[in-house]
Amino acid sequence: MANGFGSMFIGVAGLQSSQNALNVTSNNLANLDTTGYVRQSVLFADRDYVTFNTTAAISNQQSGLGVTIGDVVHSRDVFLDRLYRTESSRQSFYASTSEALTEVQNYYQELEGQAFQDALTDFWGSFQELYNYPEDSVYQNLVIQKAQLFTSRSSAVYSGLKSYQYNINSQISDDIDQVNELGKTISELNLQIQKIEAGNIETAMTLRDARDLALDELASLVDISYKEEVNGVVRVSVEGNEFVNENGYYKVEKQTDKATGFVTPYWSHLSDPDKGEYTYLFNFNRDISTENKNDMGEIKALVLARGDKVANYKDILGVDGKTYDDTTGMSVMLRAEAQMDQLFHGIATAINDILCPNTEASNYITGLTGNGSVTMTDADGNTYTVTANTKILDADKCAVGSDGKLPPQELFTRLGTERYTEVSYTDPASGETKTYYLYNEEDPADTTKQYTMGSTSVNSALITDETLLPHLRQNGDVDQSLMATLAAVWDKESLTVNPNDTKAYSFKDYYAAMIGEVATYGNVYNSTATNLSQTVQSVDNQRQQVIGVSSDEELTYMIKYQNAYNASSRFINVINEMIEHLITQLG
Closest to 421 (Cα-Cα) out of 447, 383, 456: 383
Structure confidence by residue, pLDDT tens digits, 464-519: 999 999 999 999 999 999 999 998 888 888 777 765 667 888 888 888 888 888 88
Q: Are 216 and 88 in contact (CB under 8 A)?
A: yes
90: left (phi over 0), alpha (psi -120 to 50) or beta: alpha
Burial class of residue 234, CB neighbours in 10 A (0-12, 13-18, 19+): buried
Which domain does 53 fall in, by range? 2-75+550-585
Structure confidence by residue, pLDDT tens digits, 235-290: 999 999 999 999 999 999 999 999 899 999 999 999 999 898 999 999 888 888 88
pLDDT reading at 309 higher than 70: yes
Half-sphere exposure of 434 (CA within 13 A, CB side): 14
For residue 531, is it within any domain? Answer: no
Amino acid identity at 290: T
Contacts 24+ apart (CB under 8 A), 166-172: 166/261, 168/100, 168/302, 168/305, 168/306, 168/333, 169/261, 169/262, 169/263, 169/306, 171/302, 172/263, 172/265, 172/299, 172/302, 172/303, 172/306
What is the reported pLDDT for 54? 59
Contacts of 531 (CB under 8 A, 6+ apart): none
Cα-based distances in Å from 23 to 30, 273, 464, 553, 562: 10, 55, 86, 15, 11
Q: Are 377 and 370 in contact (CB under 8 A)?
A: no
Integer Cα distance of 357 and 17 in angstroms: 96
For residue 555, is it within any domain? Answer: yes
Q: Are 84 and 545 in contact (CB under 8 A)?
A: no
pLDDT reading at 4 higher than 60: no
Q: Are 248 and 236 in contact (CB under 8 A)?
A: no
Cα-based distances in Å from 508 to 140, 492, 543: 21, 9, 53
Structure confidence by residue, pLDDT tens digits, 353-392: 999 999 999 999 888 888 889 999 999 999 999 999 999 9
Can you list the alpha helix ranges (DSSP code H) found in 310-445? 332-355
Integer Cα distance of 579 and 581 in angstroms: 5
- When mean pLDDT is compared across 188-192, 418-422, 544-548, the lowest value belongs to 544-548
For residue 6, is it within any domain? Answer: yes
For residue 569, is it within any domain? Answer: yes
Instruction: Please provide the DSSP assignment of 431-483 as one string.
Output: --EEEEEEE-PPPTT-GGGS--TTSEEE-HHHHH-GGGSS-B-TTSSB-HHHH
Q: How many domains is the chain built from?
A: 1
Amino acid identity at 375: T
For residue 566, is it within any domain? Answer: yes
For residue 274, is it within any domain? Answer: no
For residue 164, is it within any domain? Answer: no
What is the reported pLDDT for 57? 55
Tell me if the pTM is above 0.85: no
Range 318-324 average pLDDT: 46
Range 402-408 average pLDDT: 93
Integer Cα distance of 240 and 369 in angstroms: 59
pLDDT reading at 551 higher than 80: no
What is the reported pLDDT for 322? 47
Integer Cα distance of 536 and 15 in angstroms: 43
Q: Are 467 and 401 in contact (CB under 8 A)?
A: yes
pLDDT reading at 326 higher than 60: no
pLDDT confidence band for 60 (50 / 70 / 90): low
For CA atoms 168, 172, 177, 182, the dihedral sign is positive
Amino acid identity at 118: D
Angle, helices 78-109 vs 332-355, to 10°: value is: 20
Q: Are 130 and 140 in contact (CB under 8 A)?
A: yes
pLDDT reading at 203 higher than 50: yes
Question: What value does the mean pLDDT of the chain take?
Answer: 85
Integer Cα distance of 222 and 295 in angstroms: 10
Q: Are 265 and 282 in contact (CB under 8 A)?
A: yes
What is the reported pLDDT for 126? 93
- Helix (H) or strand (E) holding 63, with range, is strand 61-64
pLDDT reading at 323 higher than 60: no
Structure confidence by residue, pLDDT tens digits, 137-192: 999 999 999 999 999 988 888 888 999 999 999 999 999 999 999 999 999 999 99
pLDDT reading at 547 higher than 50: yes
- When mean pLDDT is compared across 90-94, 164-168, 224-228, 499-503, the lowest value belongs to 499-503
For residue 359, is it within any domain? Answer: no
pLDDT confidence band for 563 (50 / 70 / 90): confident
